[in-house]
């Protein structure tokens, strides 16, 4: 049995046992209900149902039973959709270098400088249910798919060379979690713990064609380079979130969210290069490849900080909320890396080198998120 299967089994057992024991509500209730047993938390992640100040339950001394950010406990569904816009930083590298001895120049290209650039849209969906004792569950799904293509067509009658490249990044994370909502001073808090299945795959490909006319005729060059690095695994994910009123101004609230995940799975890296030339009276070619695979573990860190606004939905007895935030994700280093290089040359005429690298480097995502949802 692999480590990921053991973790899934342990989580299923823990969730079932905790859900049964939580019915007595003796675990976290003293933290936020020391003054009044009818008080319970509301959710940072999905719930934005603050009661008006004048309707807060109060203690015998006439003060609110919990901090000013806390409201009535209300069991119900929470769901939302979020659009994240993140810029990838890191990844594979494929490229070429072409020397024309007749013209006396050397040109090169690398996908490291011409790959996926700028902000990439990536959706996140969530849904769940929380009971009136603050315990519940949620399902979250996030996915990022992006590609970038670059081309400089080769025209035999006019150009010395031409090339085309493509970069693809595919990532997703599926979370199944146990949720606990509680209050800490004047902060609404939610803690989660659960299971995550995730994948990260980065691949790049580049093709090259060129020709050099010289006294002995024409030498044509062609090359190919490709690199791929991938990880897929299962593990544990946990998070802590909080929000509070921004001086109770127009329903605006500050919030933050921190999440960590430890994943166990398999990582693979592969690199393949090929270069060839054809000239009057002969030809040459060079092909190389590298491959690595490993049982691996990585750590994923995610952070959000921003503001949210909400308003009641009187027609359905719930609330609508919208929020904006800065977001940062860090996906740790892989345990596998590979590289390859192929070179062909015609003495006194030219040389072509193709490179491919699938490194074990970490991958960072930086950008912002805009979300909206309802609670009822």
Q: What is the DSSP string of 274-323?
A: EEEEEETTEEEEEEEEEEEEEEEEEEEEEEEEEEEEEEEETTTTEEEEEE
Per the CB < 8 A criterion, the answer to whether 56 and 64 are in contact is yes
Q: For 91-145, write each residue's pLDDT tens digit.
A: 778 899 999 998 889 999 988 777 677 899 999 999 999 998 889 999 999 999 9
Which has more confidence, 310 or 341? 341
Reference 334, options 294, 302, 289; nearest CA is 294
- Say how many residues make up the chain: 376
Q: For 189-243, write each residue's pLDDT tens digit.
A: 999 999 999 999 999 999 999 999 888 888 999 999 999 999 999 999 999 999 8
Q: Phi, psi (5° rounding) for residue 13?
A: -65, -45
**pTM of the predicted protein model:** 0.79
Which has more confidence, 108 or 51? 108
pLDDT value, residue 159: 63
CA-CA distance, 291 to 372, in Å (whole number)?
A: 44
Mean pLDDT of 84-94: 87
Reference 184, options 306, 25, 67; nearest CA is 67
pLDDT value, residue 157: 62
> Taking the CB of residue 113, how many other CB atoms lie within 10 A of it?
9
pLDDT value, residue 90: 78
Burial (CB < 10 A; 0-12, 13-18, 19+), residue 309, is middle
> Residue 15: beta bridge partners?
none
User: Is the per-residue pLDDT at 22 higher than 50?
Assistant: no
Per the CB < 8 A criterion, the answer to whether 307 and 326 are in contact is no
Which has more confidence, 324 or 26? 324
What's the token pair of residue 137? 């569950």
CA-CA distance, 243 to 185, in Å (whole number)?
A: 11
For residue 315, the number of C-alpha atoms closer than 13 Å in the C-beta half-sphere is 2
User: Is the per-residue pLDDT at 53 higher than 80?
Assistant: no
Weakest mean pLDDT among 37-46, 197-206, 284-293: 37-46
What's the token pair of residue 107? 């040109």
Mean pLDDT, the chain, rounded, equals 81
Which has more confidence, 222 or 12? 222
Which has more confidence, 202 or 312? 202
pLDDT value, residue 128: 94
CA-CA distance, 50 to 68, in Å (whole number)?
A: 9
pLDDT value, residue 48: 39
Per the CB < 8 A criterion, the answer to whether 269 and 228 are in contact is yes
The domain tally of the chain equals: 1
Q: For residue 20, what pLDDT band results from cuts at 50, 70 and 90?
A: very low
Q: Phi, psi (5° rounding) for residue 151?
A: -145, 140
Domain residue limits at 67: 3-375
Q: For residue 342, what pLDDT band results from cuts at 50, 70 and 90?
A: very high
């Amino acid at each position: 049995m692999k480590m990921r299967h053991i973790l899934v089994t342990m989580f299923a057992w823990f969730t079932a046992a905790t859900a049964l024991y939580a019915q007595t509500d003796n675990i976290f209730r003293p933290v936020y209900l020391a003054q009044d047993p009818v008080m319970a938390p509301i959710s940072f992640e999905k719930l934005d149902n603050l009661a008006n100040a004048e309707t807060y339950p109060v203690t015998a001394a006439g003060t609110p039973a919990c901090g000013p950010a806390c409201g009535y406990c209300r069991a119900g569904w929470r769901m939302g959709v979020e659009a994240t816009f993140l810029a990838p930083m890191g990844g594979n590298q494929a490229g070429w270098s072409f020397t024309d001895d007749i013209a006396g120049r050397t040109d090169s290209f690398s996908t490291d400088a011409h790959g996926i650039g700028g902000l990439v849209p990536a959706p996140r969906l969530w849904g769940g249910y929380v009971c009136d004792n603050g315990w519940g569950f949620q399902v979250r799904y996030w996915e990022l798919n992006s590609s970038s293509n670059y081309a400089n067509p080769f025209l035999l009658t006019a150009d010395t060379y031409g090339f085309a490249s493509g970069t693809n990044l595919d990532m997703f994370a599926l979370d199944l979690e146990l949720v606990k909502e509680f209050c800490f001073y004047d902060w609404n808090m939610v803690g989660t713990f659960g299971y995550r299945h995730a994948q990260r795959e980065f691949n790049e490909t580049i093709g090259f064609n060129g020709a050099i006319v010289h006294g002995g005729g024409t030498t044509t060059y062609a090359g190919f380079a490709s690199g791929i690095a991938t990880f897929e695994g299962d593990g544990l994910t946990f998070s802590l979130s909080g929000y509070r009123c921004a001086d109770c101004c127009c329903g605006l609230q500050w919030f933050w969210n921190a999440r960590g995940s430890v994943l166990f799975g398999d990582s693979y890296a592969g690199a393949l290069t090929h270069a060839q030339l054809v000239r009057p009276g002969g030809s040459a070619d060079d092909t190389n490849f590298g491959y690595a695979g490993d049982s691996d573990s990585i750590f994923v860190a995610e952070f959000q900080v921003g503001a949210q606004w909400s308003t009641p939905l009187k027609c359905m007895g719930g609330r609508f909320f919208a929020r904006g935030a800065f977001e940062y994700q860090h996906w740790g280093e892989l345990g596998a890396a590979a590289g390859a290089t192929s070179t062909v040359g015609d003495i006194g005429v030219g040389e072509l080198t193709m490179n491919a690298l699938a490194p074990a480097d970490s991958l960072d995502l930086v950008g912002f998120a805009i979300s909206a949802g309802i609670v009822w």
